């Protein structure tokens, strides 16, 4: 890292060179072809360079040329880009821009502190997703939409995986969402309150932003920077940056409605969204977006083998009682606004923000009412051959010892025998079979809410000096609940619902940014000097659950489990509030050194002044225009990521599978907890990264562009959640006797965050895009995007042998593995290494059609509950074949204002059937690690209105 920093400093010195040379000045105006009104903020650049300006509120511009032969490029999102040779005799140039039926070329602001530029003029790879791309899919989920557009973006469904069921963590280039930053209008957005406590090794423990709290209709454009950018945007931008540009029109109304379902008849959903622009006096605008979504659940389960056995004995176990499928999402409402006001020609006020809420609930695992898999400490006491049916003595003083009754039914007894016993001893002895004769399946859920706001003021001067001062806040609340379950220690008197905990994430920031172009005689363009300071703080708070969710009931001493079964509540002593403030200073220089060479250098100093101390990151990026049609680009950067306050301090208890497929309680504890330290845990430190990239841009024709980018991302001391570390009988006894986790005596597994391993991601992104606008109502758009990513584990800790635990010597030493074999396999193989997204869209007058092909290569995964990737000594690693997935859409423009479209995602309902071991033991009909939507073909109808 220090060599890159030294090189960055030397590069900064080299960039400061000399004086000003003579210029040719061109002036003019830009107006809208349709309305004749002047257009503000149109980007005007000299083709093949980064020299340019933007138009004023009156649509005027002034630009100094380097000489004759320069061509000016006029660009504005949603309008046809124009290339014009300017007059050299001082005549004013008047340009008229026409609306485009397709965003032919992406104009982006992410990745540079200079003017917005075309994607093909960027020194780093950037994807641009237009509003049309955001709409042409069956899903209303932003993560699914991005997966359908960007092959290096992967996201899975996470059924029965806690909060990841509702806030799904995606990966970019195989890295977790912690390694990317989400910007809205160039300002950093806050994280979600959801911490991924379940899921594959790639996302386990991650805490990223919840993009689904922003209505898709509010987005003017979505930009994806696929390159390390910590030096430019701050810690965490290791894999890249997402920038969401909000709509900013001061007029017009758009309405989008969509309904759909899966081919099996379930998963019905409805989405209604609207956007409207209003003038804010004559010098400003207010743009408002609202969206409502409601999604019914799906069920792709089969009956578990143990459930079928119980049904055959007469137990009224519900068919497919353990549900695998999409969760139920109720009344998801999001709203966003974007506003701006010109105080003068050079000073502009702005503000944006939004609020969203939704409620979701999904299935947990079936609690079997009998048999060998009967839920421990609810329906069963003990294990193995000595296991007995769990029974509560309602009155220990009545002379009847319920647990020693000769006629107590065994776990293998049929339903009639159990019910006969209940009838004979009702009011004296209690079996949970009385209230739950078929067992029960907990329904886990969360009420989610999100609030954000940013306000600022920016300005510029005739000399080109620009400044921007802003402040922002964000707040994400996860209020968890669980229904259809019990706190067994309470006995027969159970509440209808438990509220186990709240997770609250809050962030506050203040930014001051400046930039100034300095004209240097030896440079082909002005040297853009940008810099700024930022202060931000992250706060994570856990709030205690309701008393019933964690309380020790009167039947605890008889052997019944404590706390809401499936997801135990947090008691007050484990709740807390943790804060991490930091400040940063950055400098960012960029210029065209010569006509064909653009270089950017950035450096950032960041100080986490309450814990991790200081970090220094740097970046150098270059674009060489070898010919008018061929360019090469590359970058070298360093990055850091500190653990979030939530990752560093979280404590939580939930249910998990053990290696034999049984349900047990698993604990999440901080790495500094005595239990974690006894198992090899250490205080967390930041992870560091080195990002290398090399690419090329080939403009084969004005309409056909090829880009290819190699990348290598090396991360040291990666922060991630360990696998579940089992506690054998002796360790569990020592833990129980120590009182370290009072109330959680049934704990049999623990996990905690660690800096345990190093990785490298190596790969390539290739994009071939064709955009041809034949006329005002005919266009052909096609693209083929390919990604290959090979993750590699470079280093990880070997299993350690512990001879004592919590200060007590062990009779038998035990081995502890921080990174289990299952997690090692997931790190390298759970994502397909090859992905292709090919799309073709044809617009012909009022008709349009679209076909999209997705290719996923094979992937590897361990069977669901095989934490060592073995079951009974047998290999549990499986390789699953890749597939092509086909989507299609057809549409018709009914009038200038109304459009209708019908489409199908995954037309052939392609899927991967589950392994028989998983199907019988888990009840899932498909492979849980499937990288595409496992629910089958999704049909949708979309109606659009624009006024």
Q: Each residue of 110-122: pLDDT tens digit?
A: 667 666 666 777 8
Residue 899 has pLDDT above 80, yes or no: yes
Tell me the CA distances in angstroms from 845 to 103, 354, 436, 945, one per residue in order.
17, 37, 62, 17
What are 587's two structure tokens? 């400098």
Task: Say which residue, 819 or 152, is predicted with more confidence.
Answer: 152
Q: What is the mean pLDDT of residues 487-507?
A: 95
What are 937's two structure tokens? 């073909």
pLDDT at 738: 79
3-state class percentages of the chain: helix first, strand second, coil last, to nearest 5: 15, 50, 40
Q: What is the mean pLDDT of residues 143-166?
A: 86
Task: Say which residue, 383 or 657, is predicted with more confidence.
Answer: 383
pLDDT at 667: 78
The average confidence (pLDDT) of the chain is 88
Per-residue confidence band for 160, with pLDDT thresholds at 50, 70 and 90: confident
Residue 6 has pLDDT above 50, yes or no: no
pLDDT at 37: 81
Residue 217's contacts (CB-CB under 8 Å, 6 or more residues apart) are 131, 254, 256, 273, 274, 275, 289, 291
Q: Sort 813 into a burial class: Cβ within 10 Å, 0-12 / 13-18 / 19+.
A: exposed
pLDDT at 708: 96
Per-residue confidence band for 746, with pLDDT thresholds at 50, 70 and 90: low
Selection from 488, 507, 882, 887 nearest residue 663 by Cα: 488
Do 574 and 582 form a contact (C-beta atoms < 8 A)?
Answer: no
Question: Rounded distance, CA 433 to CA 436, Å?
Answer: 5
How much of the chain, in percent, has pLDDT values that exceed 90?
55
pLDDT at 21: 42
Q: How many residues does the chain have?
A: 947
Per-residue confidence band for 506, with pLDDT thresholds at 50, 70 and 90: very high
Question: Rounded distance, CA 308 to CA 312, Å?
Answer: 6
What is the third-level CATH fold of 253-365+441-946?
A: Maltoporin; Chain A (2.40.170)
Model confidence pLDDT, tens digit, residues 575-607: 999 999 999 999 999 998 998 899 999 999 999
Lowest mean pLDDT among 113-117, 148-152, 299-303, 557-561: 113-117
pLDDT at 229: 92
Selection from 636, 511, 544, 517 nearest residue 227 by Cα: 636
Question: Rounded distance, CA 350 to CA 287, Å?
Answer: 12
Give the predicted TM-score (pTM) of the model.
0.87
Do 921 and 890 form a contact (C-beta atoms < 8 A)?
Answer: no
pLDDT at 116: 60
Question: Rounded distance, CA 528 to CA 590, Å?
Answer: 5
Phi, psi dihedrals of residue 635, rounded to the nearest 5°: -155, 155
Task: Say which residue, 937 or 918, is predicted with more confidence.
Answer: 937
Q: What is the mean pLDDT of residues 296-321?
A: 92
Task: Say which residue, 563 or 48, is predicted with more confidence.
Answer: 563
Model confidence pLDDT, tens digit, residues 841-850: 999 999 999 9
Lowest mean pLDDT among 257-266, 437-446, 566-575, 843-852: 566-575
Tell me the CA distances in angstroms from 424 to 381, 428, 492, 519, 558, one per residue in order.
21, 9, 17, 95, 21
Which segments within 776-918 are labelled E, that is strand?
778-796, 800-805, 808-816, 834-844, 847-856, 859-862, 870-871, 874-875, 877-880, 883-893, 898-905
Question: Rounded distance, CA 269 to CA 260, Å?
Answer: 6
Cβ burial 114-123 (10 Å sphere, 16+ → b, else e): bbbbbbbbbb
DSSP labels, 341-366 = EESSSSEEEEEEEEEEEEEEEEE---
Between the CA atoms of 591, 592, 598 and 599, what dihedral angle is there, to the nearest 10 degrees? -30
Lowest mean pLDDT among 306-315, 329-338, 794-803: 794-803
pLDDT at 489: 94
Task: Say which residue, 658 or 440, is predicted with more confidence.
Answer: 440
Model confidence pLDDT, tens digit, residues 696-734: 999 898 889 999 999 999 999 998 877 777 788 888 888
pLDDT at 199: 78
Q: What is the mean pLDDT of residues 555-565?
A: 91
Lowest mean pLDDT among 348-357, 465-474, 569-578, 779-788: 569-578
Task: Say which residue, 482 or 127, is predicted with more confidence.
Answer: 482
Lowest mean pLDDT among 61-70, 298-307, 379-388: 61-70
Model confidence pLDDT, tens digit, residues 224-247: 999 999 999 988 899 999 999 999
pLDDT at 253: 95
Residue 634 has pLDDT above 70, yes or no: yes
Model confidence pLDDT, tens digit, residues 194-213: 998 887 788 888 899 999 99
Residue 550 has pLDDT above 60, yes or no: yes
What are the boundaries of each domain within the chain?
1-100, 253-365+441-946
Paired residues of 518 in beta bridges = 527
The correct CATH number of 1-100 out of 2.60.40.1120, 3.40.50.150, 3.40.50.12780, 3.60.15.10 is 2.60.40.1120
What are 247's two structure tokens? 């709509």
Cβ burial 408-422 (10 Å sphere, 16+ → b, else e): bbebebebebbbebb
pLDDT at 815: 78
Q: What is the mean pLDDT of residues 444-448?
A: 95
Task: Say which residue, 143 or 190, is predicted with more confidence.
Answer: 190
Selection from 247, 238, 240 nearest residue 214 by Cα: 247
Do 533 and 583 form a contact (C-beta atoms < 8 A)?
Answer: yes
Per-residue confidence band for 942, with pLDDT thresholds at 50, 70 and 90: very high
Question: Rounded distance, CA 580 to CA 237, Å?
Answer: 18
Q: Which residue in the block uniquely carries the two structure tokens 């040329």?
A: 65
pLDDT at 107: 55
Lowest mean pLDDT among 20-29, 348-357, 727-736: 20-29
Residue 299 has pLDDT above 60, yes or no: yes
Do 112 and 590 form a contact (C-beta atoms < 8 A)?
Answer: yes
Lowest mean pLDDT among 70-79, 177-186, 629-638, 878-887: 70-79
pLDDT at 22: 46
Do 929 and 918 form a contact (C-beta atoms < 8 A)?
Answer: no
DSSP labels, 392-455 = EES-TTSS--GGG-TTPPPTT--HHHHHHHHHHHTTTEE-TTTT-TT-B--EEEEEEEEEEEEE
């Amino acid at each position: 890292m220090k060599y890159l920093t030294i090189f960055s400093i030397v590069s900064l010195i080299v960039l400061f060179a000399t004086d000003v040379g003579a210029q040719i000045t061109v002036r003019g105006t830009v107006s809208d072809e349709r309305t004749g009104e002047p257009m503000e903020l149109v980007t005007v650049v000299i083709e093949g360079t980064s020299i340019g300006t933007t138009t004023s509120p009156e649509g005027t511009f002034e630009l100094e040329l380097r000489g004759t032969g320069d061509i000016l490029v006029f660009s504005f999102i949603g309008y046809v880009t124009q290339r014009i040779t300017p007059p050299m005799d001082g005549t004013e140039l008047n340009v008229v821009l026409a609306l485009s039926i397709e965003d032919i070329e992406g104009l982006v602001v992410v990745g540079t502190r200079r003017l917005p530029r075309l994607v093909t003029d960027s020194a780093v790879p950037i994807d641009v997703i237009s509003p049309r791309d955001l709409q042409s899919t069956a899903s209303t989920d932003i993560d699914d939409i991005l997966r359908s557009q960007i092959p290096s973006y992967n996201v899975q469904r996470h059924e029965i995986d806690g909060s990841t069921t509702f806030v799904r963590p995606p990966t970019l280039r195989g890295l977790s969402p912690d390694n990317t930053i989400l910007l809205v209008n160039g300002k950093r957005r806050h994280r979600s309150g959801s911490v991924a406590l379940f899921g594959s090794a790639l996302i386990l423990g991650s805490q990223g932003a919840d993009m689904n709290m922003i209505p898709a209709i509010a987005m003017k454009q979505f930009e994806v920077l696929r390159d390390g950018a910590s030096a430019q945007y701050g810690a965490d931008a290791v894999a890249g940056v997402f920038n969401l540009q909000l709509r900013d029109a001061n007029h017009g109304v758009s309405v989008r409605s969509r309904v759909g379902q899966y081919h099996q008849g379930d998963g019905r959903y409805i989405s209604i969204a609207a956007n409207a622009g209003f003038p804010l006096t004559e010098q400003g605008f207010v743009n408002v977006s609202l969206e409502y979504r409601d999604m019914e659940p799906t069920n792709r389960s089969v009956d578990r083998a143990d459930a079928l056995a119980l049904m055959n004995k007469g137990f009224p176990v519900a068919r497919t009682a353990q549900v695998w499928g999409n969760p139920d999402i109720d009344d998801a409402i999001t709203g966003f606004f974007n506003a701006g006001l010109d105080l003068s020609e050079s000073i502009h006020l702005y503000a944006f923000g939004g609020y969203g809420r939704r409620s979701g609930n999904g299935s947990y695992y079936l609690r079997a009412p009998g048999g060998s898999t009967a839920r421990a400490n609810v329906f069963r006491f003990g294990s193995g051959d000595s296991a007995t049916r769990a029974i509560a003595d309602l009155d220990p003083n009545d002379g009847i010892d319920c647990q020693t009754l000769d006629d107590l039914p065994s776990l293998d007894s049929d339903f009639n025998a159990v019910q006969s016993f209940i009838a004979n001893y009702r009011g004296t002895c209690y079996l949970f079979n009385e209230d739950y004769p078929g067992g029960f399946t907990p329904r886990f859920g969360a009420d989610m809410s999100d609030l954000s706001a940013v306000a600022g003021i920016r300005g510029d001067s005739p000399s080109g000096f620009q400044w921007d001062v802003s402040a922002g806040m964000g707040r994400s609340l996860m209020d968890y609940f669980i229904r259809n379950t019990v706190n067994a220690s309470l006995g027969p008197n159970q509440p209808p619902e438990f509220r186990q905990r709240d997770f609250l994430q809050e962030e506050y920031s203040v930014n001051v940014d400046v930039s100034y172009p300095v004209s240097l005689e030896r440079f082909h363009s002005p040297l853009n000097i940008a810099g700024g300071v930022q202060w931000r703080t992250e706060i994570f708070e856990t709030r205690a659950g309701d008393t019933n969710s964690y309380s020790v009931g009167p039947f605890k001493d008889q052997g019944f489990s404590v706390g809401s079964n499936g997801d135990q509540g947090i008691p007050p002593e484990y709740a807390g509030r943790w804060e991490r403030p930091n400040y940063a200073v950055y400098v960012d220089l960029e210029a065209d050194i010569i006509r064909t060479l653009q270089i950017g250098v950035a450096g950032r100093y960041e100080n986490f002044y309450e814990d991790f101390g200081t970090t220094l990151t740097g970046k150098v990026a270059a674009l060489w225009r070898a010919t008018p049609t061929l360019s090469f680009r590359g970058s070298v950067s360093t990055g850091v990521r500190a653990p979030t306050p939530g990752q560093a301090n979280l404590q939580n208890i939930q249910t998990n599978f053990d290696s034999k497929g049984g349900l047990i309680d698993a604990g999440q504890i901080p790495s500094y907890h005595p239990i974690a330290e006894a198992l090899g845990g250490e205080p967390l430190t930041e992870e560091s990264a080195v990002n290398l990239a090399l690419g090329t841009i080939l403009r084969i024709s004005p309409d056909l562009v090829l880009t290819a980018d190699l990348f290598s991302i090396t991360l040291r001391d990666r922060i991630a959640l360990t696998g579940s570390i089992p506690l054998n009988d002796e360790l569990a006894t020592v833990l129980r006797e120590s009182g370290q986790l009072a109330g959680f005596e049934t704990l049999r597994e623990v996990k905690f965050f660690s800096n345990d391993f190093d990785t490298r991601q190596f790969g390539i992104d290739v994009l071939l895009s064709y955009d041809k606008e034949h006329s005002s109502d005919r266009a052909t758009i096609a693209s083929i995007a390919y990604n290959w990513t090979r993750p590699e584990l470079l280093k990880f800790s070997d299993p350690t042998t512990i001879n004592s635990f919590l200060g007590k010597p062990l009779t038998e030493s035990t081995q502890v593995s921080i990174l289990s074999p299952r997690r090692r396999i997931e790190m390298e193989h759970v994502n397909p290494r090859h992905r292709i997204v090919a799309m073709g869209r044809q617009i012909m007058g009022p008709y349009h059609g679209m076909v999209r092909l997705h290719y996923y290569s094979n992937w590897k995964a361990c069977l669901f509950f095989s934490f060592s990737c073995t079951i009974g000594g047998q290999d549990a690693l499986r390789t699953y074949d890749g597939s092509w997935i086909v989507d299609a859409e057809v549409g018709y423009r009914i009038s200038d204002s109304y459009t209708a479209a019908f489409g199908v995602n995954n037309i052939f309902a392609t899927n991967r059937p589950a392994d028989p071991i998983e199907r019988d033991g888990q009840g899932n009909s498909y492979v849980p690690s499937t990288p595409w939507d496992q629910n089958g073909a999704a049909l949708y109808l979309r109606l659009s209105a624009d006024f």
